[in-house]
Amino acid sequence: MPHASSSESPGYLSGRQQLLQKLSDLLPAAVYLFDVEKRCTVYTSRAFSVATGREAGELEALGSAMVPTIIYPDDFPRFVEELERAKTLADGEESVFESRVLHKNGTWRWFQCRSTIFERNSAGLPKLVLGIAIDITDHRRAEYAARCAHERAEAASRAKDQFLAVLSHELRTPLTPVLASVGSLRDHPELPASLREELAMIHRNIELESRLIDDLLDLTRVTRGKLILHQELLDVHKAIFRSVEICRGEIEQKRIGVTLELQAEVSTVHADPGRLQQILWNLLKNAVKFTPTGGAIRVRTSSRDDRHIAIEIVDSGIGIEPAILPVLFDAFEQGGKHMTLRYGGLGLGLAISRALVEQHGGTLAAASEGRDKGSTFTVELPVVCGDTASGATAPQMASRAARPMRILLVEDHPDTSRTMLRLLQTFGHVVMAADTIAAALALLRQERFDLVLSDIGLPDGTGHELMKAAREFSNVYAIALSGYGMDEDLRRSRDAGFSDHLTKPVSIAQLQRALAQAALNVGAPTDRN
């Protein structure tokens, strides 16, 4: 039953007690009336008794000790703070806070307390505060469960990212010496044509394996919002020509006719060169993959309006069934298990391509009339009018690497070290090798080098630690060579003092470009010690 404190007469609340009692009994919440001056509760509802597990007589007997008894100890200072704040409330204002209330059996529940001035004394100061306490325990528990689930999901996501990064490193590292050796042998002038074709096939498949690894990492970057674009002015038409050349071997192998209809009046876009190439390469390779031998592919561009260019890749391939179109751009979606078994791949290329297009402010859509009726993929990108694409073609720097350099190769993987050492010497450089940080630092103190080419994972530490130590006594130009290729890995390399970061497996062309850039930066050989 509602009750008045024993320190007051039964008529303390006069005729309002019956009204409070009836109103509070209708509410699914605890109601209380608190005497600010005497710091005691003078009225509590039945729901209040249920929340505390104490009958009205027990609460009455506690008197001014009731509040410290029923309020959770950790929340009591906040309760007192809110009580003091209540004294400053103007009429109509309310105080809102949350607190745990102890049950007689030792359990507790969360309540949201809302209080307002109910009566003032003759001096106009607050005397009685009317409050309502709403049980929010289930809501708080749901919040806690959701927070825990989110934290577990974040932890699982971080663990997945770490696993993918390590898996990438372990897969990339053994591919590096294979790719380098195959590339070197393939270009040997005395190699028979038949063997050259076999080596070209091996080279293509190694690069495909590397692309699959990159797709896994790109998906992680996209889903976590960690994909960084380095944009510049580019010519879409030139990028299309390069994509066709990249796929030339597969196109000729399947005898597919490729027609280019590049009719867009404005073809300059603001884009990341590598990512734009990746988009076009993915879509063209997809068309080649699903087009039968002797089929046809058309690549055409048009000006949608004065602000957008449309790039359409139309194939005469197996088409897309209507049920697949809505999920075609979902990760790992390839149109069913039978498609994966027949055509291979991870089903990530289209998902990554759409994400990349959208990051460039564009759209990517697919259309098909059904099975065996071909497909059309359309990319729309905003164009830049009145400018010339400055980054349309990659600078040919390989020839600039002709000047011999003294290179310190730091690599603990025996096959990679041996292959890279031979390859660098073939390029005309003087090379010394180390397989630990300690050995590398010793050589840096004893010898003069123009360039350090270092792996990141070493037996006695990391390449980052090597460079930080080396920077104390040397300003030698440095390139990181690693199987870790996430954006965070590239940032760490830059922060440690590397000027470039090559992600394994490294092709001969990539290595030559990096060496050429290094030659331009180190200038004439000087004693850096």
pLDDT single digits (tens) 83-104: 777 778 888 888 888 888 888 8
Quote the tokens at residue 214: 């990159």
More confidently predicted of 523 and 195? 195
Per-residue HEC secondary structure of 430-475 comes to: EEEEECCHHHHHHHHHHCCCCEEEEECEECCEEHHHHHHHHCCCCC
Of 339, 292, 299, 340, the C-alpha closest to 316 is 292
pLDDT for residue 371: 87
pLDDT single digits (tens) 407-434: 999 999 888 888 889 889 988 999 999 9
d(CA 113, CA 134): 7
- Residue-wise over 15-34: b if at least 16 C-beta within 10 A, else e? eebeebbeebeeeebbbbbb
pLDDT single digits (tens) 433-452: 999 999 999 999 999 999 99
The pTM (predicted TM-score) of the whole model is: 0.46
- pLDDT mean over 290-314: 92
How sure is the predictor about 216, in pLDDT bands with cuts at 50, 70 and 90? low
- pLDDT mean over 367-388: 86
Quote the tokens at residue 341: 């078994």
The CATH class of the 398-522 domain is alpha beta
Of 431, 503, 498, the C-alpha closest to 471 is 498
Q: Is the pLDDT of residue 124 over 80?
A: yes
- pLDDT mean over 392-399: 37
pLDDT for residue 392: 37
pLDDT single digits (tens) 448-499: 999 999 998 899 999 999 999 999 999 999 999 887 777 778 888 999 999 9
Report phi then psi at 296, rounded to 5: -140, 145
Q: Is the pLDDT of residue 139 over 70?
A: yes
More confidently predicted of 114 and 7? 114
The fold adopted by the segment(s) 232-382 is Heat Shock Protein 90 (3.30.565)
Domains 16-135 and 398-522 share a fold: no
d(CA 503, CA 480): 8
Question: Strand order in 108-120's β-sheet?
Answer: 40-44, 30-35, 126-135, 108-120, 94-102
Quote the tokens at residue 202: 């091996």
> How far is C-alpha 137 from the geometric centre of its chain's CA atoms?
35
User: Cβ(460)–Cβ(437) under 8 Å?
Assistant: yes
d(CA 496, CA 502): 15
Q: Is the pLDDT of residue 389 over 60?
A: no
Quote the tokens at residue 24: 């509070």
pLDDT single digits (tens) 159-192: 776 776 677 777 777 777 877 777 777 777 777 7
- pLDDT mean over 204-217: 68
Q: Is the pLDDT of residue 271 over 80?
A: yes
Q: What is the DSSP letter of 3?
A: B
pLDDT for residue 8: 42
- pLDDT mean over 270-282: 86
Taking the domains of the chain in order of start, what are their residue ranges?
16-135, 151-223, 232-382, 398-522
For the chain, the average pLDDT equals 80
List the single range of 67-71, 308-312, 523-527 with lowest mean pLDDT: 523-527
pLDDT for residue 208: 62
Burial class, 426, CB count within 10 angstroms (exposed 0-12 / middle 13-18 / buried 19+) = exposed
How sure is the predictor about 2, in pLDDT bands with cuts at 50, 70 and 90? very low
The fold adopted by the segment(s) 16-135 is Beta-Lactamase (3.30.450)
pLDDT for residue 347: 63
**How many other CB atoms are there within 10 angstroms of residue 506's CB atom?**
24
How sure is the predictor about 27, in pLDDT bands with cuts at 50, 70 and 90? confident
Cis peptide before 505 (omega within 30 of 0): yes
User: Cβ(512)–Cβ(395) under 8 Å?
Assistant: no
d(CA 43, CA 21): 9
- pLDDT mean over 192-208: 73
